[in-house]
Structure 1
Amino acid sequence: MREVAILAVNKKNLFIRTLSGFILGPVVVFSVFTFPTTIGLVTTIVLLTAMEYFEMTLDNIDHKIKIFLSLMAAFTSAVYGFTLRTYYAGLIFFDPITIYVMSIVIVALISLFILKDNIKYKNVITSYTYALMAISLFLSYFYHIILNYGFTTGLLALTSVWVYDIGAYFVGLNIGKHKLAPVYSPKKSIEGFIGGIIFTYVYIIIFEYIREIFDLNMIDPLRAIIFAIAIGIVDTVGDLTESALKRTYNLKDSGEILPGHGGMYDRIDGVLYLAPTFYFLMKILRV
């Protein structure tokens, strides 16, 4: 009886997740078809994710400071995006990554005068540096993907993570029996992991078949295997990393902004690790 009740709850959660995905999905998809809207999308996601992250990690810090840190992380991502486009056009000659270095310096300087407390200062700088790298910079690799390989490739990178999540959740819910990482995420199963990879591979093949009609295809079936496996691995690593972080602070979700998904960080934890991985795979495999 208890197992039937749990299954019913899980299926209800799946329905809510799917419904919210159908509502939010088109907004995200259409946002990646122009570079300015892509910057707007990434900046918004960075802002919301950073706010959730700082709420988790900086419990004893004034809320206004956490808002400032979140705005700085988002602003840095936006400036990086526009600067990167200018850099690829050959109009500037300094490395755009310098913007991230300067962001840390600015926050460190301001925090030094505002906090006036060694422990709080250390916590703020440590937390901000992590958020700037693992959230803002990692997600900003979508700029590199789009500027180098086009908007449809950026769309593939983004949606392939969704497909993996849906496939892994569906397979794990129905036939998952062997735990993948019970310490960090008891609900994840090896069957779900493999099922998600298979779903992702099929999706990439279909996506590339459609792109071939418009002479836009880039990833052949053999390389698609590598991409599908990589997506499965990095998405799982991202999810387990966030799960470990939430367990450290005794939280179930990072927030409540997305019905059925929890917070923004819960939704994009895999995307954060996928964006740079996808870009470097495109480079390494000479796609």
Structure 2
Amino acid sequence: MMAETKTRLITALIVAPFVVACFINYNSLIGLVAAVVLLASYELLNMAILDQQHRIFLYFGVSISVGFTIVYGIFQARNGMLLLCLAFILNGALSVLTIKKISIVWNTVLASSLSLLYIAGCLSFFFPLYLKFGAANALLNLTAVWLYDTGAYFAGLRWGKTKIAKHISPSKSLEGIFGGFLTAIAFSVVYKICFELIFHSEVMPFKSLVIFSLTIAIFDTFGDIFESALKRYFNLKDSGNVLPGHGGMLDRIDGLLFVTPVTYFLFTLGIL
């Protein structure tokens, strides 16, 4: 366990500074989100498309998801529903042209459509979050999820006894969730103080940080369990191995995919 924890830490120390630096500029954020969508979409479709004759559709599906992400970002997060529907139509058209076996149409099209909505659609909420509510809040959304995951991981290892989804995610516990929640609150408070004092950036009010941390605790957990269910369906432990110690890219962002749209929604309602 110590070796795995060490590997996780080293990977995080290498990757995290680069990811954080991408939030300095909106264009670099588009590049970051597109790169993550590319890797995560590939992992999801690689799990689902088992027929070697139709591997070409994997690349079509990934390309459509990445293409939607880039175009949506370039359009300054406008016309999202229209772009998503157009991407879905293109995905459907390509499926008709490339899939020859009727028996695999449903699973293949469902997987590529899930990639488009679940990965590209949800992660692209970073764009309107960044543009409407500031880079500081967008970066907080990312880093607080990171810290929540870290706190939940270590609290679960040390005190986790009350399991909440044994058949899907055996390691997930109420104690881990509570530990992650406290970690997210503590980090968010420190983050707000530092960013407002050093960078003069506006971050959500202190009272909102509790709601924000609770949102992370709930929806990060749902996101993790959802992705775990997908992996269990395909009898896989990890979605990939691109991040040593963390598994695949989809494993790393599963909670973020659920948290980010909800965070944006709460901002638009004026709750955060």
Alpha-carbon offset, residue 122 of structure 1? 2.4
Alpha-carbon offset, residue 237 of structure 1? 0.6
Residues 233-283 of structure 1: per-residue CA shift (max 9 Å, x gap): 111111101111111111011011110001111111011111101111112
> Is 1:24 aligned with 2:8?
no
State the aligned residue count: 270
Residue 277 of structure 1: aligned partner? 262
Residue 66 of structure 1: aligned partner? 58
> Is 1:198 aligned with 2:189?
no
Mean CA deviation greater in 248-257 or 66-75: 66-75
Amino acid of the residue matched to residue 194 of structure 2?
I
Q: Secondary structure at the match of 2:167?
A: coil
Match of 1:258 among 229, 243, 248: 243
Amino acid of the residue matched to residue 41 of structure 2?
A
Residue 114 of structure 1: aligned partner? 98
Match of 2:46 among 55, 61, 86: 55
CA distance in 1, matches of 2:165, 2:3: 24
CA distance in 2, matches of 1:269, 1:96: 21
Mean CA deviation greater in 242-251 or 111-120: 111-120
Q: Secondary structure at the match of 2:244?
A: coil
CA distance in 1, matches of 2:196, 2:76: 29
Residue 126 of structure 1: aligned partner? 110
Where structure 2 has 5 or more consecutive residues not aligned to the other structure, the ranges are none
Alpha-carbon offset, residue 12 of structure 1? 2.0
Residue 166 of structure 1: aligned partner? 150
Structure number with greater Rg is 1
Q: Secondary structure at the match of 1:179?
A: coil
**Counterparts in 2 of 1:252 and 1:286: CA distance versus 1, 3 Å:** closer
CA distance in 2, matches of 1:70, 1:110: 12
CA distance in 2, matches of 1:16, 1:180: 27
What are the residue-to-residue correspondences of 1:161-240 with 2, within 5 Å? 161-213=145-197, 214-240=199-225
Alpha-carbon offset, residue 286 of structure 1? 4.6
Match of 2:234 among 245, 249, 252: 249
Residues 106-129 of structure 1: per-residue CA shift (max 9 Å, x gap): 121122122233332222221111
Q: Do 1:176 and 1:192's aligned partners in 2 also have CA atoms closer than 8 Å?
A: yes
Q: Do 2:34 and 2:66's aligned partners in 1 also have CA atoms closer than 8 Å?
A: yes
Q: Do 1:80 and 1:97's aligned partners in 2 also have CA atoms closer than 8 Å?
A: no
CA distance in 2, matches of 1:36, 1:129: 26
- Percent sequence identity over matched residues? 34
Alpha-carbon offset, residue 207 of structure 1? 0.9
Q: Secondary structure at the match of 1:152?
A: helix
TM-score by length of 2: 0.95
> Is 1:76 aligned with 2:58?
no
Amino acid of the residue matched to residue 59 of structure 1?
L
Amino acid of the residue matched to residue 73 of structure 2?
G
Residue 4 of structure 1: aligned partner? none
Segments of 4+ moved more than 6 angstroms: none
> Is 1:45 aligned with 2:29?
no
CA distance in 2, matches of 1:252, 1:79: 33
Q: Secondary structure at the match of 2:72?
A: helix
Residue 3 of structure 1: aligned partner? none
CA distance in 2, matches of 1:249, 1:201: 35
